[in-house]
Amino acid sequence: MELRHLRYFQVLAQTLNFTRAAERLHIAQPPLSRQIQQLEDELGVMLLERGRPLKLTDAGRFFHEHSTALLEQLNKVCDNTRRIGLGEKTWLGIGFAPSTLYGVLPELIRRLRSGEPLELELGLSEMTTLQQVQALKAGRIDIGFGRIRIDDPAIVQTVLTEDRLVAALPAGHPLLAGPISLRELAREPFVLYPGNPRPSYADHVIALFESYGVSIHVAQWTNELQTAIGLVGAGIGVTLVPASVQLLHRDDIGFTPLLEDNATSPIILSRRVGDVSPGLNHCLRMIDELLPPAS
């Protein structure tokens, strides 16, 4: 399938007339008919009811809607590519762990999208810290926000802040009565995330308990924070989450603080060594305004 097939079909679906479509496309009618027939042959379905008047089939209406959206996205990509190539716009790829969205990251994204003083095209990708490091080295993103420290000579990591951890428990759980210790919490079945890839935030949680000489029983592994919270609400177990997650209001769960002062999780900024690109430098200045690096 070629792009011209999509473009020809889009115009034909708009006009529902081969003659008018051919005129708009500046081609003769027979080549247009052949191109549409080739498209139908490749898809293996009829897109048009060739009567009077010409009509789209159900498959044709579906294909028109989704191919139109695809072409609009392609046109946007091509336009932004030209603008970036001409220096009119700067592309910045951002990777983020889901839990970082409950902190300062949404405000950072809003400011970056404002276009002042530098117009940016943002590429946002949800990924773990390990995936961020791989994406940074491959050039797919320019900056990452995660939760774990990774030793890699090609990557610079900076701790932006330390989030206090809190226990998330099912609504009505007795431990919601007040601050609890990790030893108390370790007696409960755990919902732990993410299960893959490793190392991850899950390893940070396990190591935190082990530093107090206790281990946890993992009743359920999951890969997503939201899924873990949902399973806690269902009574499968408890979990540890950054305190900023308390902004997520649910009736079926509650949060309680921990007694241990070192029960924290860092928000870690990752970037390539030696990267001095304008987009990244602009982003780093914004971060300094919003959240000075932790001492």
Residue 295 lies in a domain: no
Residue 101: domain span: 90-159+267-290
Return d(Cα 50, Cα 39) in angstroms, integer.
Answer: 15
Q: Do 153 and 277 have their domain in common?
A: yes
Q: Residue 58 domain-assigned?
A: yes
In a domain? residue 131: yes
Q: How far apart are CA 39 and CA 266, in angstroms?
A: 52
Q: Number of structural domains, the chain? A: 3
Is the pLDDT reported for residue 1 higher than 80? no
**Matching residue, tokens 């695809």:** 70
Residues 80 and 205 in one domain: no
Report d(CA 81, CA 141) in Å as an integer.
16
Q: Per-residue pLDDT tens for 227-257?
A: 999 999 999 999 999 998 888 888 999 999 9
pLDDT band at 88 (very low <50, low <70, confident <90, very high): low
Please give the pLDDT value at position 205: 95
Among 116, 101, 87, 122, CA closest to 286: 116
Asked if the model's pLDDT at residue 290 lies above 70, the reply is yes
Q: Quick check: 220 pLDDT over 90? A: yes
Q: Are residues 10 and 45 in the same domain?
A: yes
CATH number at residue 135: 3.40.190.10
The answer to whether residues 94 and 122 touch, using CB atoms and an 8 Å cutoff, is yes
Residues 145 and 282 in one domain: yes
Interatomic CA distance for residues 247 and 258, integer angstroms: 17
Distances in whole angstroms, Cα of residue 269 to Cα of each of 40, 132, 144, 236: 49, 10, 6, 33
Query: Are residues 255 and 190 located together in one domain of the fold?
Result: yes
DSSP state, residue 128? -
Task: Say whether pLDDT at 35 is over 70.
Answer: yes
Q: pLDDT digit string (tens) for 112-143?
A: 988 777 788 888 999 989 899 999 998 889 99
26 phi-psi bin (left φ>0, alpha ψ -120 to 50, beta other): left
Closest CA to 93 of 109, 78, 74, 69: 109
pLDDT value for 236: 97
Distance CA 263, CA 50 (A): 69
Say whether both 22 and 98 belong to one domain: no
19-23, 72-76, 170-174, 227-231: range with lowest mean pLDDT: 72-76
Q: Tell me the pLDDT of the chain averaged across its residues.
A: 89
Are residues 166 and 260 located together in one domain of the fold? yes
Q: Can you tell me the distance from the alpha carbon of 286 to that of 111, in angstroms, rounded to the nearest whole number?
A: 8
Spatial separation of the C-alpha atoms in residues 140 and 135, rounded to whole Å: 5
